[in-house]
Chain A
Amino acid sequence: MIRPLPPLPGIDSATAPTPDDPGYSDWVERVGFSPAGVDRGLIWDHLHRSPEERLLVLEQHTAALLSRGGRRPEIL
């Protein structure tokens, strides 16, 4: 079961476009990513985890990268 999340700050879910609207993809790119290209949804999801869950995710990702012999990239 995927955890429900509140809308990103500044987004009104009642008036937001849906995947059926032609401009939906452009809208997602505009509001879902920062000007630097950072996925705001990924951060929003992480912010709604407990510190313990965040550490577990970090350990899982680090273990997976190390098991493949990798040391980069350092971004999930």
Chain B
Amino acid sequence: MDDVQKFSELLELLAARRINYVLVGGVAAALAGAPITTYDLDLIPDPDRSNLDRLVSLLLDLEASYADPAGRHISPNLERLQANRMNLFRTRLGRLDVAKQIGRGMAFEEAHRRSSFVQVRGVEVRILDLDALIESKEAADRPKDRAVLPILRETLRLSRARDQPPKCAE
């Protein structure tokens, strides 16, 4: 299961199952324009009970199992999603990480407020804004976060410069 990563198919399935979430992490950064790569899809789901029920149902259909360091097969369920800050899954479409919060306690409500939509293969995907992504990486402060931060910061600078209206010559 670890030799595939079907980001598009995962995003299409999340939309088809009407799962409300904010995409965070490397895929969100790449969709925002950062030339980075990643091996997993990271998201913060809306903690609403019915939304989490739909997410658990999808995870079970994807044969999801916790990426358990002890090698045990542990299936997702509602209680585990609600209890754990981070749920790392292996699925038949690749790695899928479900977070309750990221960085310095950024949960769904704040992530939702600091996000915007992008259109991918006919699917509207809500992604965390780059400045919020940078904040979450700064807070996580692991070697892999520090490695990617200069790229994210430069992407933010250049995307703001691109979006500025051109200056008119007098």
Binding site for B on A (CB under 8 A): 8-10, 34, 36-38, 40, 42-49, 51-52, 54-55, 57-59, 61-63, 65-67, 71, 73-76
Contact = CB atoms under 8 A, between A and B. Distances in A.
A27 to B, nearest CB: 18
Contacts of A74: 26, 36-39, 144, 147-148
Contact of B5 (A10, A45, A48, A62): A62
A16 to B, nearest CB: 17
B50 interface: no
A47 B159 contact: yes
B155 interface: yes
Which secondary structure dominates chain A's binding surface? Answer: helix
Given A62-B5, A74-B148, A43 B161 contact: no
Nearest to A65: B37
A10 B164 CA distance: 12
Q: Choose among B26, B125, B144, B155 the residue with the greatest number of A CB atoms under 10 Å from its CB.
A: B155
B24 interface: no
B106 interface: no
Given A54-B30, A54-B31, A59 B5 contact: yes
Contact of A62 (B39, B120, B121): B39
Contacts of B38: 58, 62, 74
A62 to B, nearest CB: 5
B26 A42 contact: no
Q: Which 8 pairs across A and B sit closest by C-beta, in order of nearness?
A: A9-B161, A36-B150, A51-B118, A47-B33, A46-B35, A58-B30, A38-B154, A61-B37
A54 B153 CA distance: 18
Contact of B154 (A34, A45, A76): A34
B150 A38 contact: yes
